[in-house]
Homo-oligomer: A and B are copies of this chain.
Amino acid sequence: MHLTGNGHACQEQIRFFLVSGAADVSSHWNGYGKYDGIVSMNMRRTTIKDVAEAAGVGVATVSRVLSGGSASPATRERVLTVAAQLDYRPSALGRNLRQQRSGGIGLLLPDITDTFYGRLADGVLACARSAGEPVILGATGDDPEREAELIGMLLEQGVDRVIAIPSGDGETWAPTLRAGLTTVFAHRLAAGRDDVPAVLADDRAGVRTAVDYLTGLGHRRIAYLGGPGQEQRLSVFRQALGALVDEDLIVSARGSRDSAYAVAAGLLQRRPDLTAVLAGGNLLGEAAVLAARELDLRVPRDLSLIMFDDVPWAELCSPPLTVIAQPAQDIGYRAAELVLRAGPRRPRSVLLPTELMVRGSCAPRGISRSPR
């Protein structure tokens, strides 16, 4: 009761100022923050109603002005001035409930610890920030179940836009689309969901370039060390390798570092005859380097190595790693653009170029590895 009365008094005060001369208002009310200690604890949030009363207009008008609707220049200016003076910030809560959507954009990725996804997330954040949209982050751990859980959470939150590096298949994503979420996939697709727009690096060209480079150096027994959801790369790998393909040299790890290392070490141990490895991600590349070192294989003399994704430490490694650079940040940014600009018709998917960065981890096939 007391509070409401107090608030009213303030608003009258402001109206007075506005009438007598708006120019002075700011100087008087700039120090609003100084009232901190006194009123902060139990101060009600400034609502659209307060602004309306202080400006002497209806709430509808305020809402229109602030949402870009039509209004006479005079009232528009008055409303804007008063809103600024009161330091009014529209409550996303009210708006969200009214329009049945929370506005934010959900971002679901396997592992925020992986610098690739980190850079991708950074791109999303950059675009979202320029659009003033909050980003809700979730880590799926490449587990469809956790992914489904997170999707449920997003739905419950009323999020209506989501960018995902999908782990699950079409089934997992059915509820999302059914609920009318605008979805954009990044970096990879979900099996059986080619109706969802996506932003992808040109894996096809990347793999082909890498394979051509390695075969050009004389390599014949080339392994692919893959991760989750790399079916497309695998098919291109097989295709590019043609007759040289050896299914025993194509292995897949789960998302974790441990799994990657285990698989890499197993591969190198099992097949001492292979001369080159294409690692399908920086975690896998890291695992390959560690495993090679553990087995006393020297890169690139004993083993040539190409890694997907250019990370800062690729240059620090010795030898510096030859990589296929992917525009992780761009992927995120473009995905955010797509999901924000989602118009009536479904936007076209985007394919971003990859680039082979030749450093020092590949060499012509020399003397065959000495058996251990």
What residues make up the interface of A, taking CB atoms closer than 8 Å to B?
Answer: 33, 36, 40-41, 45, 89-94, 96-97, 100, 102, 104, 107, 111-115, 118-119, 121-122, 125-126, 129, 132, 134-139, 146, 150, 152-158, 174, 178, 180, 257, 286, 289-290, 311-313, 315-318
Question: Closest approach, in angstroms, between the C-beta of A335 and any C-beta of chain B?
Answer: 15
- The answer to whether residues A153 and B132 also contact, given A33-B178, A97-B94, A316-B316 and a CB cut-off of 8 A, is yes
Please measure, in the bound complex, the distance between the C-alpha atom of A122 and the C-alpha atom of B255, giving whole angstroms: 15
Question: Closest approach, in angstroms, between the C-beta of A180 and any C-beta of chain B?
Answer: 8
Residues on B with C-beta less than 8 A from A313 are: 286, 311-313, 316-317
- Asked if A40 and B178 make an inter-chain contact with CB atoms under 8 angstroms apart, the answer reads yes
Partner of A91, one of B150, B156, B289: B156
Partner of A135, one of B114, B119, B136: B136
- Asked if A33 and B174 make an inter-chain contact with CB atoms under 8 angstroms apart, the answer reads yes
CB<8 Å pairs between A and B, sample of 9: A36-B174, A93-B96, A112-B112, A125-B137, A129-B138, A137-B137, A290-B316, A313-B317, A317-B318
Question: Closest approach, in angstroms, between the C-beta of A110 and any C-beta of chain B?
Answer: 11
Please measure, in the bound complex, the distance between the C-alpha atom of A96 and the C-alpha atom of B157, giving whole angstroms: 9
- The answer to whether residues A312 and B257 also contact, given A112-B122, A138-B135 and a CB cut-off of 8 A, is yes
- The answer to whether residues A104 and B152 also contact, given A113-B115, A312-B257 and a CB cut-off of 8 A, is no
Residues on B with C-beta less than 8 A from A121 are: 112, 137
Question: Closest approach, in angstroms, between the C-beta of A34 and any C-beta of chain B?
Answer: 11
- Asked if B100 and A125 make an inter-chain contact with CB atoms under 8 angstroms apart, the answer reads no
Partner of A122, one of B33, B91, B139, B152: B139
- Asked if A152 and B102 make an inter-chain contact with CB atoms under 8 angstroms apart, the answer reads no
Residues on B with C-beta less than 8 A from A137 are: 107, 121, 125, 135-137
Please measure, in the bound complex, the distance between the C-alpha atom of A45 and the C-alpha atom of B97, giving whole angstroms: 13
- The answer to whether residues A156 and B92 also contact, given A137-B121, A315-B290, A317-B316 and a CB cut-off of 8 A, is yes
- Asked if A113 and B122 make an inter-chain contact with CB atoms under 8 angstroms apart, the answer reads yes
Query: A45: nearest residue on chain B (CB-CB)?
Result: B100
Listed residue (A132, A311, A312) with the most chain B CB atoms within 10 angstroms of its CB: A312
The 8 closest A-B CB pairs, nearest first, are A313-B313, A318-B318, A137-B137, A93-B158, A93-B97, A97-B97, A40-B178, A92-B157
Please measure, in the bound complex, the distance between the C-alpha atom of A126 and the C-alpha atom of B139, giving whole angstroms: 8
Please measure, in the bound complex, the distance between the C-alpha atom of A134 and the C-alpha atom of B134, giving whole angstroms: 12
- Asked if A286 and B312 make an inter-chain contact with CB atoms under 8 angstroms apart, the answer reads yes
Residues on B with C-beta less than 8 A from A134 are: 136, 138, 153-154, 157
Question: Closest approach, in angstroms, between the C-beta of A302 and any C-beta of chain B?
Answer: 16
Residues on B with C-beta less than 8 A from A180 are: 41
Please measure, in the bound complex, the distance between the C-alpha atom of A208 and the C-alpha atom of B64, giving whole angstroms: 60
